[in-house]
Amino acid sequence: MKKVLTKRFGFAAFRPFQEAVCEAVVAGQDTLLVMPTGAGKSLCYQLPGIARGGTTLVISPLIALIEDQVEKLAAMGFRAERIHSGLTREHSREVCRRYLAGDLDFLFIAPERLAVAGFPEFLARRPLALIAVDEAHCISHWGHDFRPEYRLLGERLPILRPAPIIAMTATATTLVQEDIVQQLALRDPQRFIHGFRRTNIGIEIVQVQPTARNELVVDLLTDPARRPAIVYCPTRAKTDELGRLLAANLPAAAYHAGMPPKDRDEVQTAFLGGRLQVIVATIAFGMGVDKADVRTVIHTAMPSSLEGYYQEVGRAGRDGKPSRAILLHSYADRHLQKFFLEKAYPEVGVLKDLYLELGPQPEPRELLQERFGKPEDEFQAALEKLWIHGGAGVSSDDLVTRGHDRWQASYVMQKKYRAEQLELVFGFAEGNQCRMGALVRHFGDKSDDGHPCGLCDCCAPGEVVAGRFRAPDAKETSVMLEVLEKLKLRNGATTGQLFTDCAEGRRLDRNQFEKLLDAMVRGGLISLLDDSFVREGHTIRFRRAELESQGRHAGAAIVGSLELSSLGDGAAKPVKATKARASVSRRSRAAKEEAAPEAPPAAEKPTKTKARGRKAAVQPDQPLDQDEQLFEKLRAWRLAEAKRRHIPPFQVLTDRTLRDLATARPSSLEDLLQVSGIGPSKAQKYGDKVLQVIAEN
């Protein structure tokens, strides 16, 4: 293996864990490999593929990723090819011929290719050396990046056996890992879950109310030693806002999926080249971006999953030098995240109602929607979830049928799981143990010894850079003293109860109260313990406060000398006022995006629940207006596209997006990206064709 590594791949040595993984795969073991981005997972299928001889089939979710890998392998002198919808028939035919002739080392396909009738049987005509499934977490609806096409793998891979399977991902919780193993039917797999500890990133988590965050970010990044930096914001509007603010002081710019691709590329290039020192981005930024010297990663709001958060934090300090990751959040972030969750996962009752509307006879989705009578977003979310869990079938010509009746348990479990993931994020942020240790445990890295990192705000409170502190005032001191008194009577009271008892009547909000508790923990007077109970199948998490011995004897002098976080003190009013003014002048689109997270898609602001019914509410015998005509044309195109790809039409583009397209009539790729529901990947897949349909009508 060492010889293959140096001679054929040109690497001097294996990276950590690569050799052990390669050994298992060369020996024909099914393998699950979970290592962070950049760890070198590709080599773990490439080298064994070459060593075993014959063709390795690689399944990868994106054409761009496939093209990139094929190019790299070809440059190293391997015989690598691919079959996907972006290539000509002649090309595919030639690749098939070479495959049958045993003339390929690597054949790349996207998972949906396995849905093409006869294709798996064609592949089965020759034994494969190895099957590699990249981004394997996409198979699991427990994960944060579920792709329905991946579900085909479980069904179609068995005829390609007995070749061993290696499943690779950078981001899988233990439950997702289990799901991958089950769905791919891996046989007694070797599991390698490694390398999640980063020893040069100090994580710092700060409670600060939303209105004070921008100012703090500017303040932090004014120090050149903290740059280059990536700042993650939850929405496009917030990204633009903070981007402008920073750009007034520093070489900084915004980056998000709503910007024209040209501008985005420019920003990215400038950042990679060092001309821009700060990039303010939604989570759309960073995929495949490798900039070694990022000193600081800041999150200006609570992330929605620890997996995503870890990926983003991991972009700091790739060069191994000391770096910091700073997360700003407050109690208020809970509400927004919960709102997004409810939006994406409707009440089970809504799904039940929809399920009962379905029959064994295929019915056009539109008729169903009209009959169902709920707002479009809600209908769409409910149908999609039913479909994922098998309660509805949606054919590629957009006909809906009733599916099996076992969808409910699995949907309820998924929704509960998402809520729990969210709780894990809150628990992580509000916890008071080593941050890096908590992340490493989350990924189930068993080879890690769990030692404290020595860098984070829990391990090294003295090193904190984002915290700002002040002495408590008289009211705060008396509230803290009261908390201590309450705990002396009833040690282990919940923080919610303490808030009600000690703070509520005294014009102290929950945020301020949490700051007091935080100061008392740092001062060693109390400790906070996470606890939970189960009610109606839901895990409810809460926290208890317990007295430390110092707290038992602390009086006004000690409590008065505690350091309270001063972040956000008094900032609320002025910032709010300017924000309100600004938003009046902004168009409704910006207002919509204000609360819409970059991903998962299709979330909307609470106040904007106006259901945009189809314009076809006009009399049926009136001629269709122009938008409506274009909408119908787009629908016809979508139907053809869905059939070609063997997916339900709403997976191509939703009705809402088609309608927005028909109204906005974009004429360039840049305009296209302004339409909600169209991000870079949809634009890449369908952009040209959509623009063509619009231009022709």
Where on the chain is the footprint of ligand ADP (CB under 6 A)?
11, 14-15, 18, 35, 37-43, 170
**Ramachandran angles phi, psi of 15, nearest 5°:** -85, 165
Structure tokens at 73: 């392998």
Closest contact distance (angstroms) between CB of 133 and ligand ADP is: 13
Q: Under the phi-then-psi rule, with left for phi > 0, alpha for psi from -120 to 50, and beta for the rest, what region is 484?
A: alpha
Residue 12 Cβ vs ligand ADP, minimum distance, rounded to whole Å: 7
Instruction: Give me the least distance between CB of 170 and ligand ADP, in Å please.
Output: 6
Q: What burial letters (b/e) apply to 422-433, b meaning 16+ CB within 10 Å?
A: bbbbbbbbbbee
Question: Which is closer to ligand ADP, CB of 13 or CB of 101?
Answer: 13
Cβ of residue 290: shortest distance to ligand ADP, in angstroms? 8
Q: How far is the CB of 134 from ligand ADP (least distance, A)?
A: 8
| Closest alpha carbon to 596 in 326, 251, 343 | 343
| Cβ neighbour number for residue 668 with a 10 Å cutoff | 11
Q: Which is nearer to ligand ADP, 10 or 555 (CB)?
A: 10
Taking the complex as a whole, the smallest distance from the CB of residue 17 to ligand ADP amounts, in Å, to 10
**Minimum CB distance to ligand ADP smaller for 287 or for 556:** 287
Give least dist CB 363 to ligand ADP, A: 44
Query: What gap in Å lies between CA 224 and CA 245, rounded to an integer?
Result: 17
- Which residue carries 């309608």 as its tokens? 659
Looking at residue 161, what DSSP letter applies? T
- Residue closer to ligand ADP (CB basis): 194 or 415: 194
Do 512 and 470 contact (CB within 8 A), yes or no? no
How many Å apart are CA 578 and CA 574, to the nearest integer?
7
Q: How far is the CB of 9 from ligand ADP (least distance, A)?
A: 8
Kindly state the smallest distance separating residue 674's Cβ from ligand ADP, in Å. 32
Cβ at position 35, least distance to ligand ADP in Å: 6
Give least dist CB 69 to ligand ADP, A: 8
Show the beta-strand stretches assigned E in 336-427.
Answer: 363-364, 392-394, 399-402
Beta carbon nearer to ligand ADP, 72 or 470:
72
Residues 6+ apart with CB under 8 A from 695: 667
In the complex with ligand ADP, which residue's Cβ is closer, 26 or 603? 26
Alpha carbon of 201 to those of 31, 287, 318, 322, 487: distances in Å? 30, 19, 10, 6, 36
Distance CA 538, CA 549 (A): 35
- Looking at the Cβ atoms of 35 and 503, the one nearer to ligand ADP is 35
| Residue number with CB closer to ligand ADP (15 or 468) | 15
Tell me the three state secondary structure of residue 231: strand
Going edge to edge, which strands form the sheet with 278-281? 201-207, 323-329, 296-299, 229-232, 278-281, 252-255
Closer Cβ to ligand ADP, 11 or 119, answer by number: 11
| Closer Cβ to ligand ADP, 74 or 332, answer by number | 74
How far apart CA 351 and CA 361 sit, in angstroms, is 19
7 or 371: CB nearest ligand ADP: 7
Please give the radius of gyration of the chain, using alpha carbons only, rounded to the nearest integer: 27
CA distance 104 to 119: 17
Does residue 127 have a cis bond before it (omega within 30 degrees)?
Answer: no
